[in-house]
């Protein structure tokens, strides 16, 4: 009798304590899985893509055509195809360093850390976006803050808080994904003072390169709501064999 | 006339004492002239470094540009503004301001890019005269730049080296080009030393794809006779829709520092002068008290108190006049000498140094002005006459009998 009572107590206590604990780990596992899904959405072991970038600001609207290559998580290379004036300009990311090749001057410039928050190719994306790309799962603690129906769509909302020693600039990122396939819908970026800095919207989900993914990414800065940069994937192929040498500094000038 | 005769006789009688007094005054006057000229020169050089070097006496910007230096926020009708300001008695030059990344080999750093019109800018500021190595921009310079001294160190470049500039042009495209360093500036100001990069306005326009307008107009009064405040007011009335500021408003810290230096100059001069006054007083007192029995005799013979007072004052005036003349004869050439050959403290300062962000000149030049010459002389007269007042009154009031027996 006494024994069964103890067993009962044990079961209740472990149930009480461990129940939520298990639930939480399951939840955060799922959250991390969602992040990884976002991280790897546009990459694979390797990827080759053609993109169109439209930059609209108060003073100008420009359209650029870009070619991009990625390999693994560390290497990526973006080359401007048009307009003619900047054609051949290359941004190379290798690990945490970033280089720009300028065909006009035939020079390679290594971007200093002070330049990382600067605009990338005159767009509303920063150089940092390019370098830090695909590392959400490494640098942030995700937490599911909402799960349910919004505007007739089943969604999951995640709040991402940077890990204490993560080399990131955002104070918080709030990402909304589709509940079924975890495809991202919108990400809100908050600065260190927790003020909304910019909004990244994902749209036009379709089949491309054998995957279902949003092909239009639109970045709107919070302080200039009239401006935006819109990236449209025109084609993407995954799992293309690429040599490491393609991402070498030497290769930059040869193109 | 008789009094003057007497006074001269008295002055000449005790030559030792007279010469000691005169020499003391001459020496003090000479030092004061030199010192005042030196401080004047130092203040002027600080002001010149601030104003002539880079800022100009006055600046015009589009409203809001100074708070947020936006490439697009230009003075649209730059030509018209410059024309009207010139007609109003100002020498002016337009400037274009931008920022970017400069890279040379493995080194890169952020820079402030300034597009200037060498012909016009050289008349307003003296940047062109502060090139340490190489040369200043010529008018038709397409790919030459002149950079600040520390920037040259950071990028490890010298005249003849190449550097790449990268920025974003006004049309959103990526601005990048290759430039040759033509010259490296001396220490100008903290900002220019660390990140100042100068090119011609035409090169700036080509780089940033900015066809019209300027960001800044620097001005100088054609006539120094008009006060800075009055000139600022006049210019402001001329361009009510633009931001007009003089260098005192643009560099308030420096303006305050210079004001403070001015005050301390006066205080230092007062201390020096007070010491000189004591010296004169001492000599005069000696001269009067020594001669009290003599004055007693004179009074007994019917010399009135007021005439005695006059005599002593006259004696003093004669001595001060000679002392002041000597001070001028020695002090002015001394100061003039150091206005050409500066006191060089550069061995104390390694490299360049700045005060309130303005280059500190290690070479001190004297500046001989009416102020720095006449003030010491006037003060010499004032101090001597004030000093003599007490002994002269005392002598005039003295009772003959007591005086004759005075020991």
The two tokens of residue B47 are 């002001």
Phi-psi bin for A162: left (phi > 0), alpha (psi -120 to 50), beta?
beta
Whether B170 and A102 lie within 8 Å, measured CB to CB: no
Q: What is the mean pLDDT of residues B20-40?
A: 84
The CA distance from A86 to the nearest CA of chain B, in Å, is 7
At B350, the pLDDT band (50, 70, 90 cuts) reads low
- A248 vs B219, which has greater pLDDT? B219
With CB atoms and an 8 Å threshold, state whether A109 touches B170. no
**Set of chain B residues whose Cβ sits within 8 Å of the Cβ of A114:** 110
Q: Which residues of A touch B101 (CB under 8 A)?
A: 109, 111-112, 115
Share of chain B residues as helix, strand and coil, in percent rounded to the nearest 5: 55, 20, 25
Q: Which residues of B touch A119 (CB under 8 A)?
A: 168
C-beta atoms of A86 and B174 within 8 A: yes
Nearest residue in chain B measured CA to CA from A88: B174
| Nearest residue on chain B to A121, alpha-carbon basis | B174
User: Is the model more confident about B224 or about A92?
Assistant: A92
Gap from B370 CA to chain A (nearest CA, Å): 53
With an 8 Å Cβ cutoff, are B174 and A112 in contact?
A: no
Residue B8 contacts A where some CB pair is shorter than 8 Å:
no
Kindly indicate the confidence band of residue B222, based on its pLDDT and cuts at 50, 70 and 90.
confident
Q: Looking at the partner chain, which of B101, B164, B172 has a beta carbon nearest the beta carbon of A105?
A: B164
Report the distance separating Cα B146 and Cα A237, nearest Å.
48
pLDDT per residue as tens digits for the range B83-118: 998 898 899 999 999 988 898 888 888 899 999 998
A13 vs B30, higher pLDDT: B30
H or E element at residue B119: helix B118-124
Alpha-carbon distance A105 to nearest alpha carbon in chain B (angstroms): 6
Q: Which residues of B touch A109 (CB under 8 A)?
A: 101, 103, 108, 164, 166
Domains and CATH numbers, chain A: 38-254 (2.50.20.10)
Nearest to B72 among A59, A86, A122 (CB): A59
3-state secondary structure of B226: coil
Cα separation of A63 and A83, whole Å?
A: 8
Q: What's the whole-model pTM score? A: 0.70
pLDDT tens, position by position, B55-88: 888 899 999 888 888 888 889 888 888 899 889 8
Q: Quickly count: other Cβ atoms within 10 Å of residue B122's Cβ.
A: 17
| Interface predicted TM-score (ipTM) | 0.73
Q: Look at residue A74 in the predicted model and tell me its pLDDT.
A: 81
Chain B positions in Cβ-Cβ contact with residue A230 (cut-off 8 Å): none
What are the extents of the domains in chain B? Answer: 2-51+255-404, 63-241
B106 Cβ under 8 Å from any chain A Cβ: yes
- Answer for the pair B193, B49: CB distance below 8 angstroms, yes or no: no
Say whether B164 and A109 touch across the interface (CB within 8 A).
Answer: yes
- Three-state secondary structure readout of B246-288: EHHHHCHHHHHHHHHHHHHHHHHHHHHHHHHHHHHHHHHHHHH
Report the distance separating Cα B80 and Cα A253, nearest Å. 47
Residue numbers in B near A104 (CB within 8 A): 176-178
- pLDDT (0 to 100) of residue B261: 75
Which residues numbered 30-89 in B keep a CB inside 8 Å of some CB on A? 72
Please give the pLDDT value at position A17. Answer: 45
B101 touches chain A (CB under 8 A): yes
pLDDT at position B202 is 92
Question: What is the phi/psi pair of residue A109, to 5°?
Answer: -115, 130
Q: How close does chain B come to A45, measured CA to CA in Å? A: 31
3-state secondary structure of B208: helix
| Chain B residue numbers touching A86 (CB-CB < 8 A) | 173-174
Interface test with A, best of B172, B207, B211 (most A CBs within 10 A): B172
Mutate to test the interface with B, among A79, A91, A104 (most CBs of B within 10 A): A104
pLDDT tens per residue, chain A (255 residues)?
455 555 555 544 444 444 444 445 667 788 888 888 887 787 778 889 999 999 998 888 999 999 989 888 788 888 999 888 888 888 888 877 888 888 888 888 887 776 777 788 788 888 877 766 556 778 888 888 888 888 888 899 989 888 888 777 888 999 999 888 888 899 999 988 999 999 999 999 999 888 888 999 999 999 888 899 999 999 999 888 888 888 887 777 665
β-sheet bridge partners, residue B95? B116, B216
- Position B351 scores a pLDDT of 55
Question: What's residue A190's pLDDT?
Answer: 93
Q: Which of A55, A104, A115 sits opposite B101 (nearest CB)?
A: A115
Q: Give B206's contacts in chain A (Cβ within 8 Å).
A: none
Q: What is the band of B256 on the pLDDT scale with cuts at 50, 70, 90?
A: confident
- Interchain CB distance below 8 Å, A114 and B166: no
Q: Which of B246, B223, B244 is nearest to B88 (CA)?
A: B223
Residue B125 CB neighbours (<10 A) = 22
């Amino acid at each position: 009798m006494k024994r069964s009572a103890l067993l009962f107590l044990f079961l209740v206590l472990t149930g009480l304590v461990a129940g939520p604990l298990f639930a939480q780990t399951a939840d955060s596992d799922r959250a991390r899985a969602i992040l990884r899904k976002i991280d790897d959405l546009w990459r694979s072991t390797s990827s080759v893509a053609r993109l169109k970038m439209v930059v609209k600001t108060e003073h100008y609207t420009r359209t650029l055509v870009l070619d991009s290559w990625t390999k693994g998580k560390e290497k990526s290379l973006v080359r401007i195809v048009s307009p003619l004036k900047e054609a051949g300009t290359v941004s190379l990311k290798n690990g945490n360093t970033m280089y720009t090749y300028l065909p006009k001057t035939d020079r390679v410039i290594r971007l200093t850390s002070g330049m990382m928050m600067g605009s990338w190719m005159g767009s509303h994306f920063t150089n940092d976006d390019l370098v830090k790309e695909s590392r959400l799962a490494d640098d942030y603690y995700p937490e599911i803050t909402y799960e349910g129906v919004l505007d007739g769509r089943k969604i999951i909302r995640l709040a991402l808080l940077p890990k204490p020693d993560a080399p990131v600039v955002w104070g918080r990122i709030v990402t909304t994904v589709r509940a079924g396939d975890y495809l991202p819908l919108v990400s809100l970026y908050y600065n260190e003072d927790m003020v909304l800095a910019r909004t990244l919207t994902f749209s036009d989900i379709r089949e491309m390169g054998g995957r279902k993914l949003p092909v239009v990414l639109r970045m709107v800065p919070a302080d200039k709501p009239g401006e935006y940069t819109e990236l449209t994937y025109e084609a993407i192929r995954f799992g293309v064999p690429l040599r490491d040498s393609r991402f070498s500094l030497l290769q930059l000038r040869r193109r | 006339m008789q009094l003057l005769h007497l006074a001269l006789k008295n002055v000449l009688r005790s030559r030792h004492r007279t010469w000691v007094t005169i020499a003391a005054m001459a020496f003090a006057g000479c030092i004061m002239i030199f010192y005042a000229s030196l401080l004047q020169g130092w203040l002027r050089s600080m002001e010149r470094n601030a104003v002539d070097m880079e800022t100009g006496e006055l600046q015009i910007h589009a409203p809001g540009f100074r708070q947020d230096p936006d490439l697009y926020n230009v003075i649209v009708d730059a030509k018209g503004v410059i024309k009207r300001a010139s007609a109003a008695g100002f020498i002016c030059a337009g400037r274009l301001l931008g920022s970017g990344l400069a890279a040379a080999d493995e080194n890169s750093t952020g820079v402030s890019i300034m597009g200037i019109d060498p012909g016009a800018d050289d008349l307003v500021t003296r940047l062109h005269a502060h090139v340490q190595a190489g040369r200043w921009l010529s008018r038709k310079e397409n790919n030459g730049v002149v950079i600040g001294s520390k920037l040259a160190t950071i990028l490890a470049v010298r005249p003849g080296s190449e550097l790449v500039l990268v920025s974003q042009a006004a049309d959103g495209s990526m601005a990048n080009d290759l430039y040759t360093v033509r010259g490296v500036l001396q220490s100008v100001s903290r900002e220019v030393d660390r990140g100042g990069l100068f090119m011609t306005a035409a090169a700036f326009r080509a780089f940033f794809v900015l066809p019209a307008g300027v960001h800044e107009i620097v001005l100088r009064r054609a006539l120094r006779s008009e006060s800075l405040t009055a000139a600022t007011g006049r210019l402001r009335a001329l361009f009510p829709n633009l931001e007009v500021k003089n260098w005192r408003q643009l560099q308030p810290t420096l303006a305050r520092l210079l004001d403070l230096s001015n005050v301390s100059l006066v205080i230092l001069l007062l201390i020096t002068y007070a010491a000189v006054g004591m010296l004169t007083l001492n000599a005069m007192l000696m001269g009067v008290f020594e001669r009290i029995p003599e004055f007693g005799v004179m009074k007994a013979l019917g010399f009135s108190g007021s005439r005695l007072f006059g005599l002593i004052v006259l004696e003093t005036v004669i001595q001060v006049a000679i002392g002041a003349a000597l001070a001028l004869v020695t002090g002015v050439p001394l100061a003039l000498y150091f206005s050409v050959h500066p006191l060089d403290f550069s061995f104390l300062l390694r490299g360049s140094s700045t005060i309130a962000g303005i280059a500190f000149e290690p070479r001190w030049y004297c500046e001989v002005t009416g102020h720095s010459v006449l003030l010491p002389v006037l003060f010499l007269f004032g101090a001597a006459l004030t000093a003599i007042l007490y002994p002269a009154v005392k002598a005039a009031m003295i009772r003959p009998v007591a005086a004759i027996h005075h020991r």
